[in-house]
Structures are given as C-alpha cells and as structure tokens.
Amino acid sequence: MRVPFDGGEHGRLVRAHELMHARVSPLGAGAFEHWPLPARSVECAEEFRVNHVLGRVGFDLAELRDGSERLTGTRLAEAGEWDETIWFAAAVSGTRALRDVVAGVRRVRPAWADACRGLERALLAAARLASTASLASTRPGEHELPLGYAEYTRAFAELITTHVDRGPGGSGRGRAARRGQRPAATGAFAPLVLDRSVALDRRVTGAVAPRRAPSAIGRRVVRPDRLVTDPARRLFDRASKASGGVVVVDQSGSMALSSDDLERLLAAAPGAFVLGYSHAPGSAGVPNGWVLAQRGRAASTVRAGNVGNGVDGPALRFALSRRRGGEGVVWICDGQVTDSGDHADTGLAEECARLVVRHGIRMASSVDEALGLLSSRRAPVGGTGALGRVGACVAPSS
C-alpha cells in the first residue's frame, strides 16, 4: 500500500481510501476473470464503490483529488479517448474531482461532459438502493468473492460498460469483450440447471401456509355429516389466505437483485417461492437457476447472475410447477428474452408471451413494481409494450 504521510486532509482521505480497499476489496486481479466485462470497467466500478462507502461512513470526499483532474479530462477529450473518459469519470463519480474532470472535458467536447454527468447520476441512483452494510459486505458470495463486490461492483461495472458502448466515438472495447464470450445464435433456450448449493438457511418471519376451515356457505359440500353434528351446519369449507405467491426474477446483466430487494419481496409475501435465473452464454452444465426462497425459508445471500438470459422459458415453467392453487405469479424482468447464446429471438419471446397469458403471469420491470403486484389481485396480466418483446406480444391479446 502506497499512501502519503502528510497530516493534511487530502493525505488523510487517501489513507482512508486505501484502507477501505484493504477492508472490502478482493485481493489480486483474478477477481476480474469471473465476469465477461472489461477489467477497466470493473476496476473503476470498485473505485466508485469504495469512495461511496467512505462517504457513507462520514468522510468528506471534497478533498479526494490531486489537482490533475481538469487537465486529464481535457487531454482525454482532445485525444478522442471516449472509453477512457467514461472510465475515469466513473472512478471519481460522487466526489468533487468529477467536477474538475467534467470542466476539462467540456472545453473540448461538451456532449461528452454531459455523458459523464449522466453516468454519475446513474451510478449514484443504483448505489442509493443498497444499504451501507450491503455495499461493504465481505461475507463470501459467488466464487468466494466478497458479497459487496460480487453484487454491487459487478452491477456498477455493467452500468459503466453500457455507457462506454453507447457513446459517440467509442472504440467498442466493452462490446468486444462481451462478444468474445458470446457464441452464435441458437434459436432455443438452454435447459434449466438448478444450483443446489444455494442454501435456504434462515426462516422468514410471517410465512403462513393456507388452511381450510369449515364454512356455512360455499359451492361444494365437503362434510354432509355436519348437518347433524354442527349446530351451525357448516357443510362447506373455505381456504384461508396464504402469505405466498411465486416470484421469478431475471438476474441477467440488464437486471439485478440485491439482498435488500429479496428482503422487501419477502416482507410483502413471506411464504413466496422465489426463483432467480441467468445463463452464461454458450455454457453447458453451468447452474443457471437458483431458488432464493421457498415457503417460509430463504437464502441469506443472493447469488449473482451469469450475464445472459438464455433460460427464460424453462425458468417460468419450473416456477409454475411450484405454484399452489390460484396464487399469483410475478415475473420481474425487462421483457427481453434470449436464446442460449444470449441473442434476442422473436419466437422465444412469443413462447414466453403465451405462458404469460395462459397462466395469468404479471410482469414487473422492478422490485418496487413487483411489490405492488403482490399486494393487488386486480393488476393486469402481462405487461405493456415498454416491457420489451414479451410485453409487446402480450399487450394485443391481454
């Protein structure tokens, strides 16, 4: 660790930044190898996460700069280095240093400066959804990586890579890094492979199983003997309302589910069956689906996705096989289904749309929207055209 020894505020912040790395960041560059993302995106995402946690615990990030940021921004813009401009802006987002970077970039390319600010807003919005404990968590997660890194640094890196890919003059290194991991289109879903290592190791408070109770009114006589034995003549029965439901969660690169999100879902439906899924493009035998909660028991940690979709249809069918009676089914997704190579496919989107209509599945684009659907029986089946290809297929027929 190389840090300044001076007693000023800048030196103190640099020391705190490096100590936070030592506390929450994985050791070595091998951590980058697990995800098909540019290593530079992951590196800058981790810088953002560490700085954001520093700010959360009380450090003033105003002095976390060395005075070279404005000149660096100008030189990157003059050289046409779109990718590096976005990466550098991501690393200092949420600090006063970004203001200097943006000022330097704006002198040469004003549109790039606006893009840097837009990226900062997107990163801060994503970070606000997580608690400080979740962001800084060092509990082992996927590939034995610290959980805060595995969940949030990956999500931030995907967001950064998206901005790199969409920008003007970009070299496309982010796209190339992911294309190198994605095979040709197959036109078919991958088979669902459940990850049996995900342990449902805790109880969910408030989970209640449905029960049947005697009733004086109903449609079907189940106990005619109560005409004699029961003064109230309760010949029928009724089912008490369960605290469950079925929730299917797309955890591909465009979507994410944190531990906090799972807690919110289970607070609304403690007895729910929750299935997450995401397929590694072109893989075979790699787990691509995992049960996160099942009728009163839940996983302590949320397994991260495998970048692609690839298994949307089989995941929906498996979740439907765990449905009880007429309980609601909510699918949290963006409506963009893909084949086993992670290529969009209209036929597969129509297949999922038929499942949505036939089984009354309600689609949600976020956890917040899903919470409303879980508490309402009047929500419409399917989604809108805004929910990708599946929503567009469902809307005309629902």
* Residue 231 forms part of a structural domain: no
Instruction: Tell which of 137, 153, 179 closes a domain.
Output: 179
Distance, in Å, from the CA atom of 259 to the CA atom of 276, rounded to the nearest integer, reads 12
Indicate if 32 and 166 belong to the same structural domain. yes
Distance, in Å, from the CA atom of 299 to the CA atom of 203, rounded to the nearest integer, reads 9
Tell me, yes or no, if the pTM score tops 0.75: no
* Per-residue pLDDT of the chain in tens (398 residues, 90 and over written 9): 666 677 677 778 888 888 998 999 887 644 556 677 888 888 899 999 999 999 999 888 887 777 788 998 998 888 888 888 999 999 999 998 999 999 999 999 998 998 999 899 989 988 888 889 988 999 887 677 888 888 888 888 888 988 888 766 444 444 444 444 456 788 899 999 998 888 898 998 866 555 567 788 887 888 888 888 888 888 887 765 556 789 999 988 657 788 888 999 998 888 899 999 998 887 777 889 999 999 889 998 888 777 788 999 999 999 999 998 778 899 999 888 999 888 888 899 999 999 999 999 999 988 888 988 886 655 556 554 456 678 777 765 44
Instruction: Tell which of 163, 179, 195 closes a domain.
Output: 179
Q: What CATH number does the domain containing 322 carry?
A: 3.40.50
Distance, in Å, from the CA atom of 348 to the CA atom of 327, rounded to the nearest integer, reads 25
* Residue 185 forms part of a structural domain: no
Indicate if 255 and 359 belong to the same structural domain. yes
Indicate if 253 and 162 belong to the same structural domain. no
Nearest Cα to Cα of residue 333 among 247, 222, 235:
247
Indicate if 351 and 267 belong to the same structural domain. yes
Put residue 310 in one of left, alpha, beta given phi > 0 → left and psi -120 to 50 → alpha.
left
Indicate if 66 and 147 belong to the same structural domain. yes
* Residue 286 forms part of a structural domain: yes
Q: How many domains does the chain have?
A: 2
* Residue 229 forms part of a structural domain: no
Indicate if 259 and 389 belong to the same structural domain. yes
* Residue 94 forms part of a structural domain: yes
Indicate if 16 and 92 belong to the same structural domain. yes
Distance, in Å, from the CA atom of 241 to the CA atom of 42, rounded to the nearest integer, reads 46
* Residue 223 forms part of a structural domain: no
Task: Give the model's pLDDT for residue 273.
Answer: 94
- DSSP helix/strand/coil, 246: strand
Task: Give the model's pLDDT for residue 176.
Answer: 46
Task: Give the model's pLDDT for residue 3.
Answer: 66
Structural domain containing residue 45: 9-179
Nearest Cα to Cα of residue 307 among 196, 199, 174, 187:
174
Q: Quick one: tokens of 264?
A: 């919110």
Instruction: Tell which of 124, 159, 179 closes a domain.
Output: 179
Other residues' Cβ atoms within 10 Å of the Cβ of residue 1: 7
Other residues' Cβ atoms within 10 Å of the Cβ of residue 224: 9
Indicate if 265 and 377 belong to the same structural domain. yes
Q: Quick one: tokens of 189?
A: 């879903």
Indicate if 173 and 247 belong to the same structural domain. no
